[in-house]
Structure 1
């Protein structure tokens, strides 16, 4: 486990902050309770501010921690917390689980062969008003945008961001909303996470997903 600095868990309960989707995290935490007899008080983040909300809360609570374990669904923010001295320095960060950034498209509107060859192609006129992404201030979309900035350099990245906006790329509150809009046919194409694509398929949406190729990003959970 990754304990917060100054936190001394004990007794019959533990407080967990997690940005993992509740639908996935809750059964695991419940099983832990059943197997250990330790009660888990879980605090979840909202879809709209994935991870960032809890990270800001942990920073604010640094000198008076209330959390015993931080389960993040993306490693980037965890390492930010470690760099700021919020996490216990003598406990290693554990990584597990993998999801990827993916295209998601409505199969009634697009074929696989019609997908853009890269993220830079989203600024082409043929995609004007046809693409949706999660607001790139939070969650895995924010992480992905920062990685692209490092790969491409600041000047190219900034020009691309401005061109996306000029081309009418829609921004919404979270990757699951991206999948819903694509599934309803309100837009043809979206950028999301592999777990959200799987959830949409389970719900019977007419969608398909595919990793991004050279613009790909693998995202791990951390404890």
Structure 2
């Protein structure tokens, strides 16, 4: 009797064999889950590839032609390379007049002329300067033939350490073409984007006014007009 009861309890406790329908249902659920997972992984993989491609393109080198001081210079730089970086480190021969000081567009030491307008070259991308006229302090004059502003800076002792000087000279040279007869207040306003840590502002402003007078005297008809007014 005990053996018969044990056999019955064993038969009762044993789980029933899964039917064919239940088996197919289970397989279907697992298959659907696997398909969803595959689609998710495929989408994630495509996104990763797209991100990698974009990063590679952003970090790749681009051929850039810069017209610097009247000459075309070919360079290969990353799209994120600034004009200042390209001029100082990639152009051959290097153009080191614009100085790297703050690299944040606050001091003006890197000022160049872009289509005759002063800009901070540390804030301009090299690729954005293509097909545009770039003039640095080297293009304004040479040691043997300085322009009026450069000459006035030497005569009026308008420099000390020299790091800010190229930016001031470039800014003032452009401004005097726009306003050839400025007042002291106007010169100060024109130079407000350039910072001198040595504090030689009085000499800088004096040099700017002296350069304006020199340029006026060298302008055809200026001398005769001045004598007539006298």
Q: Give TM class, smaller chain.
A: under 0.3
Taking CA–CA contacts closer than 8 Å with sequence separation of 6 or more, which of the two structures ends up with the larger relative contact order?
1
- Which of the pair is proportionally richer in strand? 1
- Which of the pair is proportionally richer in helix? 2
Q: Highest CA radius of gyration, 1 or 2?
A: 2
